[in-house]
Amino acid sequence: MDRLQFYIDGAWVDPAAPRTLEVSNPATQEAFARISLGSRADVDRAAGAARRAFPGYAATSVEQRLEWLRRIIAGFRARLPELARMMTLEMGAPITFSTERQATVALFHFEEAERVLAGFPFEERMGVGIVRREPIGVCGLITPWNWPLNQVASKVAPALATGCTVVLKPSEIAPLSSMLFADIVHEAGLPAGVFNLVNGDGPTVGEAIAAHPEIDMVSFTGSTAAGIRVAKLAADTVKRVAQELGGKSANIILPDADIRAAVKAGVLACNTNAGQNCQSPTRMLVPRAQRDIAFEAAREAIAAIRLGDPLDPATTMGPLVSQMQYDKVQALIQSGLDEGATLVAGGTGRPEGLAHGYYVRPTVFGDVTPDMRIAREEIFGPVLSILCYDDEEEAIAIANDTPFGLAGFVQSPDLDRARRVANGIRAGRVYLNGALFDRSLPFGGYKQSGNGREFGIFGFEEYLEVKAIL
């Protein structure tokens, strides 16, 4: 599955200098493809193509951009099984999850961009003047490996819809689904230079995009440390910077909730995508009096998880993405043991019967205190910390005792009470009682979880400048 070219200026082209990287299947630890790693010269070429294409593309009509979006949507639907399988191979998500969530949610973002674009007021009267919203320009988009196409689509769809041009750098760990997506964009017939893709690592291609003088905006999803680096590099050219960074979301189970059902649902939510989610509810807060019930329910939920071959439709959890991620998660599980947390389920080492692949044991710790590493650091693996609280105010205080603020979760049959607690959580998105994903509502973080918003009209407006005409 070698894909050694980049998509620049409407064609697949060779890199400026040959340098390759193997892509491994995390379930087997074996390489199954190679890509090229780009350089600053490749970013220069892509940014130049995007800059040349911008004036013409920005001037296209809403109707024309809608037609291109519809072609991308049709191509995405036609190749959805292929896209899903590729994500399973490159980052280990179970095939059922890749199909029903990873690929399907990515498609949702293009459908949502089409919906917003069709009715968006790019120009409106205000007082004695007119306010126009115009595309910001060339956008550098840097995306992660954990939701490869979801994060690509949540950035590319609104950028193209608003009339911007794009230089995309997908994660070099899971790049192949994005290259299939580039094929879909090419087949949709967008003008040359509107969409460009350069593979590479963060220190080379990512930093070149963030600092490039021909790029007007950078949208980044990844770690907080990398986001800080992107913002510093972008500062010299006063780019707009949108960031979706780390998370350590609290799941507050209030005393009037069905404790067993809420705990089981919370455990499964924490283990979705092998815990490799920025908004995972990794800190579960339960009333102290219900500690033992919570521990028992958590063990039952862990026992229901089926680890195995991600290509098997019956598998509910695959491996972590890489050796580096495996080592990080193992070290943090060990830190929980060393710091005195109660091991409720799981632990260090590989799951029984899985000698190959980056599999870890889904783990739950109880009696966790807010100062422990497992309660403070983003683990990005299937590890849940259960903390106890005595009253509602303490629960909110614990939830907010974090440098992150991406998401929160509240469980209570009393919606007024749940809303009151949700209002007290310092996070960009709060889910009540297992509410489902909604592609139209804004997604983004407070504090060190980033700035700016994605999804729906809020994500659309990130790619627009505001002009007043008096």
**Number of domains the chain contains:** 2
Helix, strand, coil shares of the chain as percentages rounded to 5?
A: 45, 20, 35
Shared domain for 186 and 78, answered yes or no, is: yes
Q: Say whether both 372 and 236 belong to one domain.
A: no
**pLDDT for res 216:** 98
Query: What pTM was estimated for this model as a whole?
Result: 0.97
Same domain membership, residue 409 and residue 392: yes
Same domain flag for 276 and 165: no
Same domain, 413 and 292: yes
Whether the pLDDT of residue 412 is over 90: the answer is yes
Q: How many CB atoms are closer than 10 A to CB 37?
A: 18
pLDDT for 1: 86
Closest CA to 141 of 21, 222, 63: 222
In a domain, 160, yes or no: yes
- Same domain flag for 333 and 236: no
Residue 441 lies in a domain: no
> 270 and 239, same structural domain?
no
- One DSSP character per residue, 267-317 reads HHHHHGGGG--TT---EEEEEGGGHHHHHHHHHHHHHT--BS-TTSTT-SB
On whether residue 1 sits in a domain, the answer given is no
User: Are both 93 and 113 inside the same structural domain?
Assistant: yes
**pLDDT of res. 437:** 85
Asked whether residue 442 is domain-assigned, the answer is no
Asked whether the beta carbons of 102 and 89 are under 8 A apart, the reply is no
| 209, part of any domain | yes
In this structure, the answer to whether residues 142 and 218 fall within a common structural domain is yes
Using 50, 70 and 90 to split pLDDT, how confident is the model at 156?
very high
- Give yes or no for a contact between 52 and 44, defined as CB atoms under 8 angstroms apart: no
List, for residues 106-146, the tens digit of each pLDDT value: 999 999 999 999 999 999 999 999 999 999 999 999 999 99
Q: What is the mean pLDDT of residues 167-181?
A: 98
First-last CA distance in the chain: 56
Q: How many Cβ atoms from other residues are within 10 Å of residue 340's Cβ?
A: 11
Task: Show the domain range for 295.
Answer: 250-432
CATH of the domain at 206: 3.40.605.10
- Dist CA 428 CA 169 (whole Å): 26
Q: What percent of the chain has pLDDT over 70?
A: 100
pLDDT of 285 above 90? yes
Give the catalytic positions in this structure.
244, 278
- Mark whether 167 and 279 lie in a shared domain: no
* Same domain for 140 and 61: yes
The answer on 313 and 169 residing in a single domain is no
CATH number at 318 reads 3.40.309.10
What's the mean per-residue pLDDT of the chain?
Answer: 97
What is the C-alpha separation between 328 and 323, in angstroms, rounded?
9
If pLDDT is split at 50, 70 and 90, which confidence band does 439 have? confident
51-94 pLDDT, tens per residue? 999 999 999 999 999 999 999 999 999 999 999 999 999 999 99
- 27-45: pLDDT as tens digits: 999 999 999 999 999 999 9
